[in-house]
Structure 1
Amino acid sequence: MRKLPFLRSKLRRGRWFHTYRRGDKEISLGVHGLHPTDPRVFAAYCAEHARWEDKPPETVTPKSNTFAWALDIYQASPAWKKLAPSTRKSRDAIFRRYVAAQGNRPLSQIRAEDIEAALLAVGGHAAVNELKALKPMFAHVRKLRLISVDPTRGLKMERPTSEGFPTAGAEEIAAYQKLWPVGTIERLVFDLALYTGAARVDLVKLGRKNIADGILSFRRQKTGVISEVPMTRELRSIVARTPDIAPAFLLNGKGKPYTAEGLGNLFREAAKAAGMVARLHGLRKAFCVYWAEQGATTHQIAAMAGHLTLAEVERYTRAADRRKMVKLLAGDA
């Protein structure tokens, strides 16, 4: 058995005790009685070690066998760390609310009906997202045998029927282009989003480093899937308007790449001024519509947009005024 730094496991009167000892502090891992080789000991150690290494010094160790304690164990696991940064960020916000409300609640007292009631009180898409965050956490601690029953198992929240983000329409695109002429940062953001199909979290990172052999390629942060977009005449013209040696195509007033949030805010205000309802994600949909009308197959569009499933592409391109869209993007409108 490998020796882990700061872990102290001692056998006293036939019973194992496990602590995390660092400096002048010795903290119980809450898994006394288990053999040192038990995976629950390692999981509890990882949670405490991550708390020391990655969290503020004033962070308090949760009471053992509580919701907050189980959450720490889950967030120190490979299962949590392999999630996309954006997914971890959104789920961490959910977990912080749960910890504030129920962090000290014993795991043994959390029942399926309690979680279902909490989710129904939230309702809508928020409830769906909260359940998606809670399920893998409880599944992880159940796998470690920290709980005997997973209270989220079998629970389902129906996602409300929605068309999602609206696709940018031909009239909206024309209005935006009229208000924001070539040469403005608002127009550059618009054009790059429209002709690359990149989500804002990926758009802020794009630069000349992503171009090779007539293809602009990048790995989508959300899914890890590679997007490969042909360098069309329009896209080459757009790239030619960006700085040659900049780290990214889009730079803020300080000459640095935008954050995803900053870019989203900029476009939201620019779109609002142009009377445009669609946001950046609506341009991503318009990108799919454009290539569908150009004759690209669903598989080809999926490769360009970096979609995981063909159903996503079909959903984006199903109901749109394609003929007008293509004319506009091709410069015929």
Structure 2
Amino acid sequence: MADMPRKPFLSHEKTRHDRWVWYFKRHGKRVRLPDEYGTPQFNAAYERALTGSSASPEPLKPKTGTFKWLVGQYKRSAAFSALAPLTRQARDNMLIAVLKDPKVAEMPYGAISRANIKKGIDKRAATPNAANNFLKTMSHLFKWAVEAKHLETNPVSGVSKVTIKTDGFHAWSVEQVEKYRAHHKLGTKPRLAIDIMLFLGLRRSDPW
């Protein structure tokens, strides 16, 4: 950055979260630019701000060999399509969140190690379920990558999930069920909900 000539109308400002960000400022207006100076995304955003263009940029294709490229190939695979809709949506959301880190997105997927996977788990340690969902997502992704001959070894192999300590769900007593049903009369939605659960024998995974 020190050797690059700075473009006109730019300001580099520190946020209240101690993060440095770029703004294009001219005629009292300012536009937030991508964080990394000099990247294709940064330059394209700068040109749009400079010319006043509101056209959306064409999405850049991920560079072959990067983790972002691998994720794109995975999302187009039969393995990903075969997932149950809710599972596929959850995995997709997780991958989108992971790719928000440009360093991770542009990292060569062949360089991703078990230590990187552990780091991703530790980053989510405060929410164990999120950590385990991250592990499941990475496990399925890299299992497919090995089967598709993109990799020879799976970096997730040997990584353990986070143990979640819980007392489980409280099981209502007969007295609690009777009290609930006495309070919610026939014809109300709460009464309908508990009667369905009590008398239809549905599992939580069954569609309603």
**TM-score category, normalised to shorter length:** 0.5 to 0.7
Give secondary structure in 1 for the equivalent of 2:100: helix
Letter aligned with residue 119 of structure 1: I
2:153 maps to 149
Q: Distance in 1 between matches of 2:150 and 2:174?
A: 55
Preserved contact between residue 112 and residue 151 of structure 1 (Cα < 8 Å): yes
- What letter is aligned with 1:90? A
Structure 1 equivalent of residue 112 of structure 2: 110
Distance 2:182 2:144 in 1: 53
Equivalent residue number for residue 122 of structure 2: 120
- Cα distance in 1 for partners of 2:118, 2:153 equals 15
Matched, 1:132 2:128: no
TM-score of the aligned structures, taking structure 1 as reference length: 0.40
Equivalent position amino acid for 1:67 in 2: F
Residue aligning to 1:78: 78
The residue correspondences of 1:41-80 to structure 2 (distance < 5 A) are 60-80=60-80
- The within-5 A match list for 1:179-328 is 179-199=183-203, 202-204=206-208
The reply on whether 1:89 has 2:89 as its aligned counterpart is: yes
Q: 1:159 aligns with which of 160, 163, 166?
A: 163
Q: Deviations over 1:228-266 (max 9, x none)?
A: xxxxxxxxxxxxxxxxxxxxxxxxxxxxxxxxxxxxxxx
Q: CA 1:195–1:203 in 2, change beyond 3 Å: closer, same or farther?
A: farther
Distance in 2 between residues matched to 1:93 and 1:139, nearest whole Å: 19
How far does residue 131 in structure 1 lie from its aligned partner after superposition?
Answer: 0.6
Distance 1:192 1:114, change over 3 A: same
Q: Which runs of 5+ in 1 are unaligned?
A: 1-57, 205-333
Q: Are the aligned partners of 2:185 and 2:191 in contact in 1 as well (CA < 8 Å)? A: yes
**Percent identity over paired residues:** 27
Asked if structure 1 preserves the Cα contact closer than 8 Å seen for 2:186 and 2:192, the reply is yes
Task: Work out whether residues 138 and 150 of structure 1, in 8 Å CA contact, stay in contact via their aligned partners in 2.
Answer: yes
What corresponds to 1:177 in structure 2? Answer: 181
Query: Which whole-Å CA distance do the structure 1 matches of 2:203 and 2:96 have between them?
Result: 26
1:83-129: CA deviations, max 9, x gaps?
21121122222111111122222212311101102202312222122
Query: Counterparts of 2:165 and 2:90 in 1: how far apart (Å)?
Result: 22
The structure with higher relative contact order (CA 8 Å, sep 6+) is: 1
The correspondence of residues 6-21 of structure 1 with structure 2, limited to 5 A, is none
Query: What is aligned with 2:48?
Result: none
Query: Are the equivalent residues in 2 in contact too, given 1:68–1:103 (CA < 8 A)?
Result: yes
* Cα distance in structure 1, aligned partners of 2:71 and 2:152: 16
Counterpart of 1:114, as a letter, is: N
TM-score normalized with structure 2 length: 0.62
- Cα distance change of structure 1 residues 196 and 135 upon mapping to structure 2, 3 Å threshold: same
- The Cα offsets for residues 267-313 of structure 1, whole Å up to 9 and x where unpaired, read as xxxxxxxxxxxxxxxxxxxxxxxxxxxxxxxxxxxxxxxxxxxxxxx
Q: Judge conservation of contact 2:142–2:154 (CA < 8 Å) in 1.
A: yes
* Structure 2 residue ranges without an equivalent (≥5): 1-57
Contact (CA 8 Å) 1:193, 1:203: kept in 2 or not? no
Does the Cα contact within 8 Å between 1:108 and 1:147 map onto a contact in 2? yes
One-letter amino acid of the counterpart of residue 121, structure 1:
K
Query: Are 2:120 and 2:134, in contact at CA under 8 Å, matched by a contact in 1?
Result: no
Question: Matched residue pairs, number?
Answer: 148
| Aligned-partner residue type, residue 156 of structure 1 | S
